[in-house]
Amino acid sequence: MTVDIGRTAKPPGRIRTALARHWYAWAMVAPVVIVLGLIIGYPLGRGVYLSLTDADETNVERTIGINHLPATYRFTGLDNFTAVLKDEVFLDRLLWTVTWTVSCVAVTFCLGLGLAVLLNRRFAGRAVYRSLLILPWAVPAFVSVFAWRLLYNERNGILNKLLDGGGIDAVPWLNDPTLAKVSVIAVNVWIGVPFMLVALLGGLQSIPGERYEAAEMDGASPWQRFRHITLPGLRAVSSTVVLLSTIWTFNMFPVIYLLTRGGPGDTTEILVTYAYRISFVNSPRDYAGASAWGVLILLILLLFAVVYRRALRKQGEV
């Protein structure tokens, strides 16, 4: 029941015609539109406004006990943005965020694909392997991060104890700038592989087996079959999962925040966690600066979303 109309309606009573045809569809989407307008539209507008002021912890409107203090911050135009963009911190964090996102997604995808290909055949124990491999997805991410902190612990963690048994000195997993970066990526990959694996396995199973049989008859090698049947067959699924996991990784707050708090120094701080640091960890809390970071992050993501939309449109979605 595809009710397609609206554009073709002619002026006399055009709005009324549209209303008569579409009122139920509009009524059905109304709750979401209203709720999102209230809880996202309004805060978003306020965030943009805050980014143009000098608001911080000491001058915003707030209620302490029964005392109500009015706001005293001032409008300062684009000062925050020029300050952020002149500062090298933003570029540094952006660079690391992109590195972090690209390496996490690439490694996760390759591991997920490899394991999916291995699991996409009949053999004893397949179901057991599958359930073991997706376990990391079942555990809430913040719990997994604490599990990894237990393993990474420099003085007493099991990883260093094992290395010690092999005669290797303790490794500062989370306290050396470079190693900390590798460690956070490893944890995020560990968390992300199961989703890739399950999604790609579903994609593999939807590729008709006859194609492989035909290719085999034509004498195609395993690599050729993978290259010319498996990969094209996975295009639709993989473009979706790669985009989803790119967005998730870009915004992956808990892994960084709980594993290293962005440290040592601010070397593992991604854009999202750094904005959080400005607004809630540093003192005084710089709400205006954090809002400016937020707006910049939003612009980056919107740019990405435009590309995303184009990719989806190619697939005939949206």
Partner 1 sequence: MRDRRRGPLASIGLHTTLILASAVAVFPPLWLLVTSFKPKGEAFSTDVIKDPTLGNYGHVLGDTEFPTWFGNSLLVVGCTTVLGVFIAATTGYAVSRFRFPGMRPLMWLLLVIQMFPVAILIVPLYTIMSTLGWLNQPVSLIVTYLTVAVPFCAWMMKGYFDTIPVDIDESGRVDGLNPFGAFWRLVVPLAKPGIAVTAFYTFITAWAEVAYASAFMTGEENLTLAAGLQTFVNQYTSDWGAMTAAAVMIATPAALVFAWVQRHLVAGLTAGATKS
Site for partner 1 in 119-158 (CB under 8 A): 119-123, 125, 129, 131-144, 146-151, 153, 156-158
**What 8-state DSSP symbol labels residue 280?**
I
Site for partner 1 in 181-200 (CB under 8 A): 190, 193-195, 198-199
Task: Look up residue 265 and give its two tokens.
Answer: 């120094």
Least distance between partner 1 and beta carbon 237 (Å): 5
CB within 8 Å of 181: residues ≥ 6 apart: 96, 100, 267, 268
Which residue from 270, 113, 258 is spatially nearest to 195, judged by alpha carbons? 113
Q: Check: CB of residue 184 under 8 Å from CB of residue 261.
A: no
Residue that has been written with the tokens 């509009």 in this structure? 26
* Range in contact with partner 1 (rule: CB under 8 A) among 76-84, 88-96, 166-174, 276-284: 276-284
Give yes or no for residue 258 binding partner 1 (CB under 8 A).
yes
| Smallest gap from residue 178 Cβ to partner 1 (A) | 22
Residue reference for tokens 């594993």:
259
223, 224, 230, 236: CA torsion to nearest 10: 120
Max CA-CA distance within the chain?
87
Cβ proximity to partner 1, 184 vs 275, nearer residue: 275
End-to-end CA distance of the chain: 18
Nearer Cβ to partner 1 (78/150): 150
User: Is the Cβ of residue 99 or residue 131 nearer to partner 1 in the bound state?
Assistant: 131
Q: Which of residues 76, 163, 247, 282 is near partner 1 by CB under 8 A?
A: 247
Contact between 205 and partner 1 per CB under 8 A: yes
Contact 275, 293 (CB under 8 A): yes
The string of DSSP codes covering 43-56 is HHHHHHHHTTB---
* Smallest distance from partner 1 to CB 70, Å: 10
What is the spatial distance between Cα 246 and Cα 267, in angstroms, rounded to a whole number?
21
Residue 294 interacts with partner 1 (CB under 8 A): yes or no: yes
Shortest distance (Å) from residue 155 CB to partner 1: 8
Residue 62 found at the interface with partner 1 (CB under 8 A): yes
Size of the site for partner 1 (CB under 8 A): 117
**By CB under 8 A, what part of segment 87-116 binds partner 1?**
115
Nearer to partner 1 (CB atom), residue 103 or residue 190 = 190
Q: How far is the CB of 285 from partner 1 (least distance, A)?
A: 9
| Residue 43 binds partner 1 (CB under 8 A) | yes
